[in-house]
């Protein structure tokens, strides 16, 4: 099982060093765990915008090239609404 740091180092994901490498890995790890760009803005550590983290996530996604297979669903979700059929 690979960690985020291992994957980033393996694919040589980042060429530029505007932000430290460890900060980029931390931003990607937060995104993987939290799945929220707003929470991964890393404002506590350094001023990193959520669009910067989004660019890092897009680069990681392009390197991994994961395919998501959509499975057919076999259930119907029903809410509390009352539905009348044929006047009943």
All structural domains of the chain with their residue ranges: 1-88
Tell me the mean pLDDT in the region 45-50.
74
Query: How far is residue 59's CA from residue 47's CA, in Å, rounded to a whole number?
Result: 20
Tell me the mean pLDDT in the region 17-36.
80
Cβ neighbours for 5, distance < 8 A, ≥ 6 positions apart: 25
Query: Which one is predicted more confidently, 87 or 25?
Result: 25
Query: Which one is predicted more confidently, 17 or 58?
Result: 58
pLDDT band at residue 73 under the 50/70/90 scheme: confident
Query: How far is residue 66's CA from residue 21's CA, in Å, rounded to a whole number?
Result: 24
Max distance between CA atoms of the chain, in angstroms, equals: 68
Question: From the CA atom positions of the chain, what is the Rg in Å?
Answer: 20
Query: How far is residue 70's CA from residue 63's CA, in Å, rounded to a whole number?
Result: 21
Under DSSP, the state recorded for 71 is P
Q: ∠13-18-24 over CA atoms, to 5°?
A: 50
Tell me the mean pLDDT in the region 34-45.
65
């Amino acid at each position: 099982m690979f960690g985020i740091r291992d994957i980033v180092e393996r694919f040589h994901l980042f060429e530029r060093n505007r932000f430290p490498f460890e900060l980029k890995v931390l931003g990607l790890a937060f995104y993987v765990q939290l799945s929220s760009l707003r929470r991964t803005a890393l404002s506590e550590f350094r001023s990193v915008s959520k669009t910067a983290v989004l660019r890092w996530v897009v680069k990681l996604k392009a390197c991994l090239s994961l395919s998501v297979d959509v499975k057919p669903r076999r259930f119907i979700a029903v809410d509390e609404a009352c539905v009348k059929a044929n006047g009943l």
